[in-house]
C-alpha cells in the first residue's frame, strides 16, 4: 500500500523541495529562483497534480523532447535536467518516491567553445575609452576596466571589493570567490595608477562618506554587478569600441594572456580561483602566430641553412 508521501503530487513535492534548499541547504535566493524557474516548467510538462511516484524515465525524457521542440538551448535543457535530478534525489531521500526515475537521465553533449577573449590592442582600446568619452565617470570607469583586466577577477568579486581588502600599495587585494574561498589578486602599474586617480576623485566627491565599497555610483552607493555590466556595455558598444564584450571577457583575456606568456597553469588556476585545473585548461588555446613562432624557434630545419 502506498505511503502518504508516495501519494504526493509533483507540485507538492516541488514546494517541499524549495523549502528544503532554502531553509536546510541554505541556497542563495538566486539559486532558489533558478530551481523554481526550471521546476515550474517541469510541473507544466508533467502535470502539477501527477503523482511523483508515477513518473517514469520515459516521462522525463518526453519533457526534454518538448524543450528541444520549443527550441531551448542545450545549456538551458541541461540546467533543467540538473534541477529535475536534484528534485528526484530529494524525493527519493525523503520517501516521496520508491525509486529514482531520474538516475539514468543523461545531460546533452555540448560542443566546447573557446572563451571569448580580447587581443591586447582590443583591451588597450577599450581601457582608453573612458578618457575619450564624456558619458559616465571617467576616472572610476578607467580604474574599473584596468582592474578587471589586471586581476582576472569575476565581476561579482570586483563589485564586492572593499577599501580594507587592499594592501597598502594598492598592488594586491584579497577577494572572496566561489565557495566563500579567499584568494589574493594582483594589480599592475596601469591599474594602480588608475585606481589612485579614481580614489582621489571619490574622496573629493564624497568627503563624509563611510562607504567601504571601492566602486560606487554617482550617489555614493556601491556599484552592483548589473551596474558594472552596464558600464562595460556602454564603452564596448556603439558609443565606444563597437565591439561588445561582457565583464567576463576581461577574465578570459587575463587568463589567455598569462598562459600565452608562459605562466604556469597551476599558478593561473590559483589566481583565477578555479577549484579544478580542467576549468583553467580551457584557456590553453594559443594564437596561430605564437604556434608559428614556437615552431620556427624550436624546429632545427625551419628555414635555417647549414
- Sign of the Cα pseudo-torsion (17, 18, 22, 23, in order): negative
* 41, 51, 142, 154: the active-site residue: 154
**Other residues' Cβ atoms within 10 Å of the Cβ of residue 48:** 13
Q: Is 186 a catalytic residue?
A: no
Q: Is 248 a catalytic residue?
A: yes
* 41, 51, 251, 252: the active-site residue: 251
Short-list 1, 8, 45, CA closest to 17: 8
CA distances from 10 to 49, 84, 272 (A): 6, 11, 40
* 65, 178, 218, 244: the active-site residue: 178
* 149, 198, 235, 283: the active-site residue: 283
Q: What three-state secondary structure class fits 184? A: strand
CA distances from 50 to 6, 61, 233 (A): 11, 16, 45
CA distances from 186 to 63, 173, 237, 283 (A): 47, 7, 28, 19
Q: Is 301 a catalytic residue?
A: no
Distance CA 231, CA 158 (A): 13
* 41, 51, 192, 274: the active-site residue: 274
Q: Do the beta carbons of residue 26 and residue 8 sit within 8 Å?
A: no
Report, as residue numbers or ranges, the catalytic residues: 154, 178, 248, 251, 274, 283
Amino acid at each position: 500500500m502506498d505511503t502518504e508521501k508516495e501519494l504526493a503530487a509533483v507540485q507538492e513535492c516541488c514546494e517541499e523541495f524549495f523549502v528544503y534548499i532554502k531553509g536546510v541547504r541554505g541556497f542563495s535566493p538566486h539559486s532558489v529562483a533558478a530551481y523554481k524557474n526550471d521546476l515550474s516548467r517541469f510541473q507544466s510538462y508533467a502535470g502539477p497534480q501527477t503523482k511523483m511516484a508515477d513518473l517514469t524515465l520515459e516521462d522525463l525524457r518526453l519533457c526534454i523532447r518538448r524543450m528541444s521542440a520549443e527550441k531551448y538551448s542545450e545549456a538551458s535543457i541541461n540546467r533543467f535536467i540538473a534541477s529535475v535530478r536534484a528534485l528526484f534525489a530529494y524525493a527519493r531521500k525523503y520517501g516521496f518516491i520508491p525509486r529514482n526515475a531520474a538516475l539514468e537521465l543523461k545531460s546533452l553533449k555540448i560542443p566546447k567553445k573557446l572563451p571569448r577573449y580580447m587581443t591586447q590592442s582590443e583591451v588597450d582600446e577599450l581601457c582608453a575609452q573612458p578618457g575619450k568619452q564624456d558619458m559616465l565617470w571617467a576616472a572610476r570607469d578607467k580604474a574599473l576596466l584596468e582592474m578587471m583586466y589586471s586581476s582576472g577577477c569575476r565581476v561579482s568579486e570586483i563589485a564586492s571589493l572593499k577599501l580594507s581588502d587592499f594592501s597598502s600599495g594598492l598592488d594586491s587585494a584579497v577577494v572572496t570567490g566561489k565557495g566563500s574561498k579567499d584568494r589574493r589578486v594582483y594589480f599592475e602599474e596601469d591599474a594602480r595608477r588608475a585606481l589612485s586617480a579614481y580614489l582621489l576623485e571619490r574622496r573629493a566627491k564624497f568627503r563624509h562618506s563611510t562607504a567601504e565599497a571601492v566602486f560606487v555610483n554617482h550617489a555614493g552607493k556601491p556599484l552592483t554587478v548589473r551596474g558594472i555590466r552596464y558600464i562595460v556595455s556602454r564603452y564596448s558598444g556603439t558609443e565606444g569600441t563597437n565591439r561588445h564584450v561582457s565583464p567576463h571577457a576581461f577574465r578570459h583575456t587575463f587568463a589567455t594572456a598569462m598562459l600565452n606568456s608562459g605562466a604556469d597553469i597551476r599558478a593561473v588556476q590559483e589566481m583565477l580561483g578555479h577549484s579544478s585545473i580542467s576549468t583553467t585548461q580551457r584557456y590553453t588555446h594559443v594564437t596561430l602566430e605564437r604556434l608559428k613562432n614556437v615552431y620556427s624557434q624550436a624546429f632545427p630545419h625551419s628555414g635555417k641553412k647549414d
